[in-house]
A and B are shown apart, each in its own frame.
Chain A
Amino acid sequence: AQSVAQPEDQVNVAEGNPLTVKCTYSVSGNPYLFWYVQYPNRGLQFLLKYITGDNLVKGSYGFEAEFNKSQTSFHLKKPSALVSDSALYFCAVKTGANNLFFGTGTRLTVIP
């Protein structure tokens, strides 16, 4: 079965510092991986996806994610964190033809 794990419930980073939000996956076959962000009292917004090709995927709001097949990881990164990046981040993997399996989420807090 397809699954993802987000090992950190909470990540704190100082404004201007690089940030990383971790995700590992377990799939059979080729992985289709996604990152979503959720701001307070809102639904999830799509950030980026990995389907195939370059291991470094660029997405919205300056975020990028690095796909590492040997480590089965898909970590979300940003070179310089903003206070407005504070939110809940979800990693997800495609399961079946249409569905996504979501991780439990990581709360990112950027400290001014």
Chain B
Amino acid sequence: DVKVTQSSRYLVKRTGEKVFLECVQDMDHENMFWYRQDPGLGLRLIYFSYDVKMKEKGDIPEGYSVSREKKERFSLILESASTNQTSMYLCASSLIEVRGNQPQHFGDGTRLSIL
């Protein structure tokens, strides 16, 4: 089974801090994704990466950046945390899309609180 591991289940940080969320997958997947999940809004894509050192903006990239130095690891960075970034963050990975039918595999999420 695919395993996507997020380094922290719960995290509390202060406004203005630089925050790193880490995600590692063990199945050699090319694609990796970062989402945030908020009640009533579902999942919204922040950034994704389809290869090492490659990144693409999703629907809500403002205030975030990402890093993918190795294939198995995809980091989400909050440059200067703000209270409106309090949320559940989900990482996912998938094989490269050939016919658009590869499911994404998710980690258990990081619940981030910004005080």
Q: List 9 A-B contacts (CB under 8 A).
A: A43-B108, A44-B106, A46-B104, A51-B101, A90-B42, A90-B43, A98-B48, A98-B94, A104-B40
Q: What's the count of A-B pairs with C-beta under 8 Å?
A: 58
B103 touches A103 (CB 8 A): no
20 further A-B contacts with Cβ under 8 Å, apart from A43-B4, A97-B97, A97-B100, are A9-B40, A34-B103, A36-B106, A43-B108, A44-B92, A46-B103, A46-B104, A49-B101, A51-B99, A90-B42, A94-B100, A98-B97, A99-B45, A99-B58, A101-B45, A102-B35, A102-B43, A102-B44, A103-B42, A105-B42
B4 touches A98 (CB 8 A): no
List residues of chain A with CB within 8 A of the CB of B90.
43-44
| Chain A interfacial positions (CB closer than 8 Å to B) | 9, 32, 34, 36, 41-46, 49, 51, 90, 94, 97-105
Q: Chain B: how many interface residues by the 8 Å CB criterion? A: 29
